[in-house]
Structure 1
Amino acid sequence: MLSAFVRAFRTPDLRRKLLFTIGIMVVFRIGSFLPTPGVSYTNVQACIAQSADSNTLLGLVNLFSGGALLQLSVFALGIMPYITASIIVQLLRVVIPHFEALHQEGQSGTATLTQYTRYLTIGLAILQSTTVITVARSGNLFQNCTVDVIPNDTPVTIAIMVLTMTAGTGLIMWLGELITEHGVGNGMSLLIFTSIAARFPTALWSIAGGAGGVGKFIIVMAVVILVVALVVFVEQSQRRIPVQYAKRMVGRRMYGGTSTYIPIKINIAGIIPVIFASSLLAVPGLIAQFADKTQPWVVWLTNNVATSSAPLHLVLYSLLIIFFCYFYTAITFNPDEVADNMKKYGGFIPGIRAGRPTAEYLDFVISRITAPGSIYLALVALVPTITFIVLGVGTNIPFGGSSILIVVGVGLETVKQIESQLQQRHYEGFLR
């Protein structure tokens, strides 16, 4: 991998793309520290220092914003509105036939869906920024904090804050698209990677020099390395279904007769089930936060469901991950569509008839592969959290299963793209 990066910087065109990508990442991190107009930067830093832990309701958003949410910066919402909008548009393909028709139109339909995603991102940014500002005004954004982070909460100031955070989300979306078009890798994924990786040094220092000590730091790093190795092993694994294409005559030339395969990953759903499960389990915390905290059912809900270290919370978390793995895989991989495309171009799986039998066989394979894939995803999400609870180093450090999945997945994909571009520029063939 290191040799690939060295060769990449020796190639002028690829070096420009890498430097452009790094420059956008730097701009993204600078925006994460710029305070929103109307926010007292001094009081925010004092609240961060006083709070032992972040609000679990906004922990996921704070993770994807690289800690910018708790600082109420210009990029406080991070990339989360775009992720939510993309998931919603993808799910609407199942519900609205027009969206599915646009998806099947090819490049023009995809461009229209992308435009819908942008509009929905801005709408969600307005909603989420209003929610964050409301929580900050109520004093529930930080624990054990008595100072006001928004001293002047007039309607004009609140409107300016909502407008600034929404504009910051639009700017992040534009920066991600710039990386995709002129840089290396997927822009949105790299910005998420930057947000999560930026919190690693602080987390390492808090474990080694504060809550844990050297012994707990070594144990945490050992667990993280083992989980990373597991993620790399599983994410690189494939079930390859062989496909044979029959020979056919087109005019005076013969086409087909080739053999290929359908690569099916063990974890088709990726990180989406973890995000779905975390978002759904945040709802009880939201209910408990605005309800009467003296009621017995609110106390039970807070202690058993809303608390991330509670056994019932961990069980529900793992079950929801397994459920959403099957749910999202069924949405993203359509066996009937794959079987129809194979039949259209004269392809078939050896030993399986084309058409409906092929779709049933693909559905059978996907169901069997998703079972270990969902269990693997639940283990990756739970093992670091349980380890950190046992060691007593906190559950909000950015070494959770979702963080490791994103960082490793984006890193592998980016390295693959760099290597593919290197092969295009340094391929010699038979003649030098």
Structure 2
Amino acid sequence: MKKLISTLTNIWKIEDLRTRILNTLLFLLIYRIGSHIVLPGINPAALQSEAKDGLIGLLNMFAGGSFSRSAIFALGVMPYISASIVVQLLGIAVPYFQKLQKEGESGRKKMTQITRYLTLVITLVQAVAYVRSQISPDMRMSEIGEPTFTILSTFILTAGTMFVMWLGEKITDKGIGNGISLIIMVGIIAQLPSGLISEWGARVGGQGGGLIPFIVELAALFFVVVFTIMIVQGVRKIPVQYAKKIVGNKQYGGVRQYIPLKVNSAGVMPIIFAQAIMFVPLTLSQFFPDMKNSFLDSLSNYTSVTYNVTFAILIIAFTFFYTAIMVNPQQMADDMKKNGGFIPGIKPGFATGNYIDGVISKITLPGSVFLAIIAILPAVAGKLGVNSQFAHFYGGTSLLILVGVVLDTIQQIESHLLMRHYDGLMKSGRVKGRANAVASGVTDPTL
């Protein structure tokens, strides 16, 4: 405890770090205030009875509850995430975007600008869809007519999302951590108190059970979080030896380092892709009622066995796919060879690339299975009687984002402390965020 107090004191002593943390808290406070400002023309009293569940409930969690409140930030950063994913995929398939990726800082700025424009287009489309599908006539005030309300709400929702995107970029520049990731994390954490209260009310009320089952659920959540941290932090270290070079009177190289290959190199992207695919049956059943059948209905129900088995298979498949397109073993082998490095016992060049590819394939299989288990845990918890609002915290994208963002933020704070010769938040070298996984070459737009 004494060490923790000393570390917090050291954080406050560092002016740059103190300013960044205060800036981050200020920007996040602005976001949370905006999440409670209801769109003009909507009766706030009519929103109290609106309960969001299932996939809509998951979107509501990412938006910090503003989705169900019909707030000006109702769409949150989801359009920006969608645009980032599209641009990232274009960087794999389109030569122009591949060229931008190789242009360094100037190319990155161009891709960021393209992402912003694409975010604007996606937000306009999603804003119209949100107004049409999520705001019923009884929620609106009669003073504003239909065309005016739709146009005004679309404009405000689009402006709200662009403002949230700007807040995220400002947090990244002036604060601590990744701004977009922190905004998502704060939105998820904001739902935790209400989830705990609803679960406690269910245990002492209708479902029964009392205090003991509630404590068991909290203990289970703790072990799930520990398991998720193990998956996020898990790496396979490949030793690399660098040849000795003598330049003048100094010796360079001759040391043994390692390549940290992450067990889960794909991050949360496989879950996001799989969830997008699982939206298709629900969309088909809504737009084509004649196609409805028991199998399609089961694929639309996120608590059904059919849905979760299909969901898990898609996650495993997308994990291999995303890892294959984002991690290039041959490129790693060529870079290693140019720098005079080699893996002991393996020939440099093509043989090294094959060796790294084999290691990645071996660790990706258990990583993808564990990721699928984490993804379906909320549905399992719901089947076991946990309240749906609280069950979301037992796994899935929300838990992976929480764990990843917290670890990355702690790592950045620790870097500031160690750079100024202070002790870190944890023992030096033990906390490693996404910035340390340089060898994987994966950049997750959602974190």
Residue pair 1:60, 1:278 contacting (<8 A) in 2 also: no
Residue pair 2:242, 2:340 contacting (<8 A) in 1 also: yes
Shift in Å at residue 227 of structure 1? 0.5
Match of 2:160 in 1: 168
Match of 2:342 in 1: 348
Aligned with residue 34 of structure 1, among 23, 34, 37: 37
Aligned with residue 421 of structure 1, among 416, 419, 423: 416
Residue pair 1:57, 1:286 contacting (<8 A) in 2 also: no
Number of residues of Structure 1 aligned to a counterpart in Structure 2: 413
Equivalent AA in structure 1 for residue 402 of structure 2:
V
State yes or no: 1:338 paired with 2:332: yes
Aligned with residue 69 of structure 2, among 47, 68, 71: 71
Match of 1:274 in 2: 271
Residue pair 1:41, 1:149 contacting (<8 A) in 2 also: no
Shift in Å at residue 249 of structure 1? 5.3
Residue pair 2:241, 2:343 contacting (<8 A) in 1 also: yes
Cα distance in 2 between the residues matched to 1:219 and 1:299: 38
Shift in Å at residue 118 of structure 1? 1.3
Equivalent AA in structure 2 for residue 278 of structure 1:
Q
Residues 260/150 of structure 1: CA separation in 2 closer, same or farther (3 Å cut) = farther
After the TM superposition, which of the residue ranges 147-156 and 204-213 deviates more from structure 2?
147-156
Match of 1:142 in 2: none
Equivalent AA in structure 1 for residue 379 of structure 2:
T
- Which secondary structure does the structure 2 equivalent of 1:159 belong to? helix
Residue pair 1:68, 1:76 contacting (<8 A) in 2 also: yes
Shift in Å at residue 397 of structure 1? 4.5
Residue pair 2:264, 2:368 contacting (<8 A) in 1 also: yes
Residues 91/121 of structure 1: CA separation in 2 closer, same or farther (3 Å cut) = same
State yes or no: 1:147 paired with 2:138: yes
The 5-angstrom pairing of residues 161-200 of structure 1 reads 161-200=153-192
Q: Give the TM-score normalised by structure 2.
A: 0.87
Cα distance in 1 between the residues matched to 2:121 and 2:94: 20
Show CA shifts across 1:113-164 (max 9, x none).
1111111111111111111111125x4xxxxxx8334754522221111111
Aligned with residue 379 of structure 2, among 385, 406, 418: 385
- Which secondary structure does the structure 2 equivalent of 1:391 belong to? coil
Cα distance in 2 between the residues matched to 1:150 and 1:203: 30
- Which secondary structure does the structure 1 equivalent of 2:237 belong to? strand
Residues 298/400 of structure 1: CA separation in 2 closer, same or farther (3 Å cut) = farther
- Which secondary structure does the structure 1 equivalent of 2:393 belong to? coil
Cα distance in 1 between the residues matched to 2:231 and 2:68: 34
Cα distance in 2 between the residues matched to 1:21 and 1:417: 13
Show CA shifts across 1:174-198 (max 9, x none).
1111111111111111111100000
After the TM superposition, which of the residue ranges 249-258 and 3-12 deviates more from structure 2?
249-258
Cα distance in 2 between the residues matched to 1:11 and 1:61: 38
Equivalent AA in structure 2 for residue 67 of structure 1:
G
Equivalent AA in structure 1 for residue 215 of structure 2:
I
Residues 43/302 of structure 1: CA separation in 2 closer, same or farther (3 Å cut) = farther
Identity across aligned pairs (percent)?
41
Match of 2:151 in 1: 159
Shift in Å at residue 395 of structure 1? 6.0
Residue pair 1:69, 1:76 contacting (<8 A) in 2 also: yes
Residues 10/398 of structure 1: CA separation in 2 closer, same or farther (3 Å cut) = farther
Cα distance in 1 between the residues matched to 2:141 and 2:246: 73
- Which secondary structure does the structure 2 equivalent of 1:223 belong to? helix
Aligned with residue 399 of structure 1, among 381, 393, 409: 393
| Structure 2 unmatched runs, 5+ | 424-447
After the TM superposition, which of the residue ranges 252-261 and 164-173 deviates more from structure 2?
252-261
Q: Give the TM-score normalised by structure 1.
A: 0.90
Cα distance in 2 between the residues matched to 1:305 and 1:370: 26
Cα distance in 1 between the residues matched to 2:200 and 2:38: 29
After the TM superposition, which of the residue ranges 152-161 and 96-105 deviates more from structure 2?
152-161
- Which secondary structure does the structure 1 equivalent of 2:217 belong to? helix
Cα distance in 1 between the residues matched to 2:322 and 2:41: 41
Cα distance in 2 between the residues matched to 1:387 and 1:239: 31
The 5-angstrom pairing of residues 143-292 of structure 1 reads 147-149=138-140, 151=142, 152-210=144-202, 212=207, 213-248=210-245, 254-292=251-289
- Which secondary structure does the structure 2 equivalent of 1:359 belong to? helix
Match of 2:78 in 1: 80
After the TM superposition, which of the residue ranges 360-369 and 4-13 deviates more from structure 2?
4-13
- Which secondary structure does the structure 2 equivalent of 1:68 belong to? coil
Residue pair 1:220, 1:388 contacting (<8 A) in 2 also: no
Residue pair 1:18, 1:184 contacting (<8 A) in 2 also: yes
Residue pair 1:179, 1:187 contacting (<8 A) in 2 also: yes
Shift in Å at residue 299 of structure 1? 4.0
State yes or no: 1:374 paired with 2:368: yes
Cα distance in 1 between the residues matched to 2:355 and 2:405: 31
Shift in Å at residue 269 of structure 1? 0.9
- Which secondary structure does the structure 2 equivalent of 1:244 belong to? strand
Residue pair 2:378, 2:392 contacting (<8 A) in 1 also: no
Aligned with residue 119 of structure 1, among 117, 122, 127: 117
Cα distance in 1 between the residues matched to 2:23 and 2:330: 42
Residue pair 1:208, 1:216 contacting (<8 A) in 2 also: no
- Which secondary structure does the structure 1 equivalent of 2:317 belong to? helix
Residue pair 2:195, 2:389 contacting (<8 A) in 1 also: no
Cα distance in 2 between the residues matched to 1:64 and 1:389: 22
Shift in Å at residue 207 of structure 1? 0.2
Cα distance in 1 between the residues matched to 2:60 and 2:277: 16
Residue pair 1:196, 1:398 contacting (<8 A) in 2 also: no
When the two chains are superposed, the root-mean-square deviation of aligned CA atoms in Å is 2.2
